[in-house]
Amino acid sequence: MHRGIPLMTVLLTMGVIGLLFAKPKRNSDAYPQFADLSQQNAARLDQQRTVVADAAKQRYRTASLTRTKADLSVLQKLIDDEAFSKSQTYQLQCLGVAFGDVLASELPLRWVMITDEYGTDPTLRFKKTSMSINALTLISKRIEREEAVSLSDLLSTTRQRLSEFEKQVR
């Protein structure tokens, strides 16, 4: 932590970002552990990407997903057309993986495994910080709560929050 930034301000900012994107923490003293994706973890994410790519191909004749911002319109259309119902948690989490790829292409995020009190799951880690975004549930939780989902807004909000976080920790 740099001098001049009150610890409470940094913690408050991290808490706000956590509420937006991560699983709630019951124990604020627990620090997550990060590890690179194993071949098995990477294969799992690829399987989830395939679920979304297959749905896009079947519905819209989309050739493939690019893992870039160019995918936003297809992913948004899948959401708007309710390609997956709110009870299809796995498929909605697959959408989260595809959207996570967009986030990783646009922001300094990368797929890693996080281990915390809830277990071990793939997540997007911000640089080499303890900040992570649980992309798997970013979409599914909102759809299950019957909230409107705008992927361009989520991308913009994520960009803004990470920028604010980075300024706080400098």
Question: How many Å apart are CA 115 and CA 34, to the nearest integer?
Answer: 6
Q: How far apart are CA 38 and CA 43, in angstroms?
A: 8
What predicted TM-score, i.e. pTM, was given to this entire model? 0.81
Pairwise CA distance, residues 130 & 37, whole Å: 16
What would the mean pLDDT of 142-165 be, rounded to a whole number?
Answer: 96
**pLDDT tens, residue by residue, 46-96:** 999 999 999 999 999 998 999 999 999 999 999 999 999 999 999 999 999
Give the CATH fold of the 7-23+33-169 domain.
Four Helix Bundle (Hemerythrin (Met), subunit A) (1.20.120)
SS (H, E, C) 92-141: HHHHHHHHHHHHHHHCCEEEEEEEECCEEEEEEEECCCCCEECHHHHHHH
Residue 160 identity: Q
Nearest to 36 by CA among 113, 124, 133, 122: 113
Asked if 50 contacts 65 with a C-beta cutoff of 8 angstroms, the reply is: no
Residues 6 or more apart whose Cβ sits within 8 Å of residue 115? 32, 33, 34, 35
Confidence band, pLDDT 50/70/90 cuts, at residue 117:
confident
Q: Residue 4: what pLDDT?
A: 52
Lowest-pLDDT choice from 17-31, 40-54, 97-111, 121-135: 17-31
| Parallel, antiparallel or unpaired: strands 119-126 and 132-133 | antiparallel
Assign 36 to helix, strand or coil: coil
